[in-house]
Amino acid sequence: MKITKASIEHINELVPLFDAYRIFYEQTSDLKKAKRFLIDRLEQNESVIYIAFIDNKAVGFTQLYYLFSSVSMERMYLLNDLYVDANHRNKGVGEALIDAAKNNCKDNNFKGLAIQTAFNNPAQNLYKRLGFKKDTDLHFFWSNTNN
């Protein structure tokens, strides 16, 4: 297995994984919009994406967004996306992607990683096993929609 920091050159390998990730979260497939979204994140340096390859085939990815803590006055990442193709789960791919994210934090002296995921996502077991602690603070979200 090889973990690579994604660049624009990886976009065609990344888009199908990102689209499958969105479908997992019950979104409609939209390869064109997914491609534009990822290109924008990479070109504008708004996220860091790692891709996992097995036998030169992209099988998973994680996307990190930059965050800041005013209290500790440190940078950190939001590990917002983690996806492994169903045929390659339970093979250490997710752990390898998270390790790449952790190493990025260490190399850049970031405070750490926050994870945002669905309350029923089975990957929570992986996060706990890899040393993540459940945040007990209240979380609120305001939506700018007319619902």
Give the contacts of 65 (CB within 8 A, at least 6 positions apart). Answer: 46, 47, 77, 78, 80
pLDDT of residue 147: 54
**Domains of the chain, first to last:** 2-129 (3.40.630.30)
Closest by CA to 83, choosing from 27, 19, 38, is 19
pLDDT of residue 109: 93
pLDDT of residue 117: 75
Give every residue of the chain whose pLDDT is below 70, as ranges. Answer: 137-147
**99 and 2 Cβ atoms separated by less than 8 Å:** no
pLDDT of residue 135: 74
pLDDT of residue 141: 66
pTM of the model: 0.89
pLDDT of residue 50: 98
